[in-house]
Amino acid sequence: MIPAPLQNIVDRLRVAWHERAIALKAASFAMVGVVNTAIDFSVFWTVAQFLHWPLVPANVLAWLVAVSFSYGMNTFITFGPESGRILRWRDYATFAASGVAGMVCSTATLFALSYVLPVVAAKLISILVSFVINFSLSHFVVFRKRAP
């Protein structure tokens, strides 16, 4: 038996989770993003450092790999109720297209900051910029609630 004050909190969290409050979506998006960031950074670092690709193409390739993973995970987890947990080519294309804004902002941030910071620091800041852009577009454009 859970004490009444604790039960109230549990009930409120359950309702918020089922209603998919924006803060919980952002947290879920961030958790997917942690893994996504590792994928992005690993691909970027491998092709930039070991294959000696220039920064911009390396960043674009890393983004392409990461966006595919991100779409799948966000379809099933973060925006599951809105997507019906069904992968669709059209939704993938919309997700990827909306992610272009995040990728462009990320790449511009990386490129600009690489002149004043170490590349690793510039890349990490560019990832933060990308998170803000990508979550906003995913929530308000790609996976928005649609009328039945």
DSSP type of residue 116: T
Residue 19 has pLDDT above 70, yes or no: no
Cα 125 → chain centroid: 14
pLDDT tier at 142, thresholds 50, 70, 90? confident
- The mean pLDDT of 85-106, rounded to a whole number, is 89
Residues 57 and 110: beta-carbon distance below 8 Å:
no
Q: Any idea which residue has 């309702």 for tokens?
A: 15
DSSP H helices in 74-117: 80-83, 89-113
- Global pTM value: 0.64
- Note the pLDDT tens digit of each residue in 54-82: 999 999 899 889 989 999 999 999 988 88
